[in-house]
Amino acid sequence: MKKRFLSIILASCMSIGLLAGCATTTVEEAGEAAPADAPAATETAAETTDSTTSETLSGEGDQTIHVFLYMQEHEKDIYQKLIDEFVEEHKDQVKEVVFEVTTQDEYNQKMIANMTANDMPDVFYVGPAAVRSYVDNGYVLPLDDYVDADTIGKIWGTTQEIYRYDGTNIGSGSLYAFPKDLSCFAFAYNQDLFDEAGLDYPDPNKPYTYEEFEEVCKALTKDTDGDGEVDQWGVACADQWGMTPILYSNGVKFLNEDMTKVNVANNPQLTEALTFYTDLTRNGLTPSVEQDTALGGYQRWLDGQVAFYACGTWDVAAFMDPNTFPYKWNLCGWPVGPSGDGRSHTWMGSVGYAVSATTEYPDLCAELVAKLSTDEDGQRAVSGITTGASIQLPNIVDLAYGEFKDAVADGTVPYASDVDVIFGYFDNNDHYAAALQEMDYTYNSEWFTPFWSGVFNIKNGDIEVQDYLNQVEPEMQELLDEAIELQNSATK
């Protein structure tokens, strides 16, 4: 009897260890390999720091501001300089600015820990999808009262819309964050491979149609070393990021207007576009599903194995670096489907600096985020005008169209010469259009996961497009319902 009692005690201890352990160890361990929210992080992971770093600067005042962000090492140097300047400018008030930087993977977990402990940093990031819940739960401060309208007016209209919220809708009301960046996911081609194949370069003013794109891809897919196996492909796309621009360019929307219903099973535009997209692989114009598991498209693009690949605004510096990408390349539009509005579409992304609603120094913090977002020297640095490495477009519209474009034209900023493709997407002109993805407006993007993560089954020929869409819709709808429920859950 005694022994049995002991057994139960021991067993309890062991399983209790699990329950308590789950909350702690997994969080730490996962940071090293968690899937990133944006491709920017996965593709430049090598440059990010492994652990949190924080630096402290001293002024003569008594106010301490805690800034908590994620970014890459070389970006950190740029922002560190801005913060140093800020401390210098306000040294009578500020004692120190604690600038803590972590990896993108760990950021959310640390923020949840901060929220749970009611110990929010004064300045932190908020992504488009989080604006509603952060505001509803009272974490972030409206910035309109602290920053003058001129400063707000300098930034891209899109970023103003993303971070405005009136309690019901995004796009109007108070401004809750200043953008760190506004990015877009453009398309690029390897000019050397075009030259070898004797093909004309894509016209930046007239993106390919689906048909034209397929023809070009056929001409660029070949066996270069004559061993009987194809080793150069027309295009490679990551299903999670590179598929959607091709679908959007055929007018696809995954959700209905008010984003409450998933619309994929009965969506002819989607069926058509997804058939086109998966046929690229079925017809051998992209690496096969198996080959893709061995080496992803990004690596194959860097190795010169694929002619077309996606190019985010954050990728430009890397692609212009001959050590990373020793080929000539340029920008072009994603191919346009027959059933859309005739324009090439892609998605945009952004993250913004927000100020904690509980900060003791709202004025100072608001001024700091405005500086981080719109300081001209800072924007010259991140866009490459003064650093030669462009990881984003300037947040200031005038700077982007003026100094930045001039610097691209005269070669000060190493950049693809068809930079107008990116400006086209930002401008929503006659040929190009870009918008945030629907996932950026729902509480989480879980509902989209079953869609993109199963597309390889179509490429493999295990299921047909329409069957796939019929099969995946109920699961997507269920997850969307959950997301809506969480969005509307009781606030703090």
Nearest approach, Cβ of 130 to other proteins (angstroms)? Answer: 7
Token output for 397: 């519209």
Nearest approach, Cβ of 420 to other proteins (angstroms)? Answer: 35
Task: Select from 172, 293, 324, 417 the one that contacts other proteins (CB under 8 A).
Answer: 293
Alpha carbon distance 101, 121 (integer Å): 12
**Which of the residues 35 through 94 are near other proteins (CB under 8 A)?**
35
Identify which of residues 115 and 435 has a Cβ nearer to other proteins in the complex: 115
Residue range at the interface with other proteins (CB under 8 A); choices 11-19, 53-61, 151-159, 367-375? 11-19
Contact call for residue 469 and other proteins (CB under 8 A): no
Identify which of residues 133 and 160 has a Cβ nearer to other proteins in the complex: 133
Identify which of residues 149 and 490 has a Cβ nearer to other proteins in the complex: 490
Residues 84-118 as b or e (16 or more Cβ within 10 Å = b): eebbeebeebbbbbbbbbbbbbbbebbbeebeeee
To 10 degrees, the CA torsion angle through 475, 136, 102, 112? -70
Alpha carbon distance 468, 475 (integer Å): 12
3-state SS, one letter per residue, for 61-90: CCEEEEEEEECCHHHHHHHHHHHHHHHHHC
> CA of 153: how far to CAs of 79, 101, 149, 161, 369, in Å?
22, 28, 6, 12, 15
Going along 262-317, which residue ranges are E strands?
A: 306-312
Contact call for residue 417 and other proteins (CB under 8 A): no
Nearest approach, Cβ of 137 to other proteins (angstroms)? Answer: 5
Burial class of residue 322 (count of CB atoms within 10 Å of its CB; 0-12, 13-18, 19+): exposed
Binding residues for other proteins, rule CB under 8 A, total: 58
Nearest approach, Cβ of 227 to other proteins (angstroms)? Answer: 13
**Is there a contact between 384 and 413 (Cβ–Cβ < 8 Å)?**
yes
Pairing of strands 123-126, 344-355: antiparallel
Alpha carbon distance 460, 160 (integer Å): 42
Contact call for residue 453 and other proteins (CB under 8 A): yes
Alpha carbon distance 124, 314 (integer Å): 21
Identify which of residues 214 and 292 has a Cβ nearer to other proteins in the complex: 292
- Helix ranges (H only) for 283-320 are 289-294, 297-302, 316-320
Task: Select from 1, 2, 33, 228 the one that contacts other proteins (CB under 8 A).
Answer: 33
Residue range at the interface with other proteins (CB under 8 A); choices 96-104, 169-177, 291-299, 371-379? 291-299
Task: Select from 1, 14, 46, 117 the one that contacts other proteins (CB under 8 A).
Answer: 14
Alpha carbon distance 421, 417 (integer Å): 9
Task: Select from 148, 225, 258, 290 the one that contacts other proteins (CB under 8 A).
Answer: 290
Task: Select from 456, 470, 481, 484 the one that contacts other proteins (CB under 8 A).
Answer: 456
Identify which of residues 37 and 420 has a Cβ nearer to other proteins in the complex: 37
Residue range at the interface with other proteins (CB under 8 A); choices 32-40, 220-228, 312-320, 422-430? 32-40
Alpha carbon distance 300, 109 (integer Å): 32
Contact call for residue 2 and other proteins (CB under 8 A): no
Contact call for residue 23 and other proteins (CB under 8 A): yes
Contact call for residue 130 and other proteins (CB under 8 A): yes
Nearest approach, Cβ of 82 to other proteins (angstroms)? Answer: 28
Pattern of binders to other proteins over 295-334, x per CB under 8 A?
Answer: x---------------------------------------
At 477, phi and psi to the nearest 5? -65, -40
**Which of the residues 90 through 129 are near other proteins (CB under 8 A)?**
108-109, 112, 115-116
Residue range at the interface with other proteins (CB under 8 A); choices 29-37, 262-270, 304-312, 358-366? 29-37
What is residue 110's three-state secondary structure?
helix
Task: Select from 85, 144, 212, 446 the one that contacts other proteins (CB under 8 A).
Answer: 446
Token output for 298: 């990004």
Contact call for residue 211 and other proteins (CB under 8 A): no
Burial class of residue 170 (count of CB atoms within 10 Å of its CB; 0-12, 13-18, 19+): buried
Task: Select from 81, 199, 454, 484 the one that contacts other proteins (CB under 8 A).
Answer: 454
Contact call for residue 30 and other proteins (CB under 8 A): yes
> CA of 478: how far to CAs of 24, 54, 438, 449, 482, in Å?
30, 41, 16, 12, 6
Contact call for residue 227 and other proteins (CB under 8 A): no
Alpha carbon distance 411, 165 (integer Å): 40
Token output for 371: 């500086």
Residues in touch with other proteins (CB under 8 A) = 3-4, 7-8, 10-12, 14-24, 26-27, 29-30, 32-35, 108-109, 112, 115-116, 130, 133-134, 136-137, 139, 289-291, 293-295, 443-446, 453-454, 456-457, 482, 485-486, 489-492
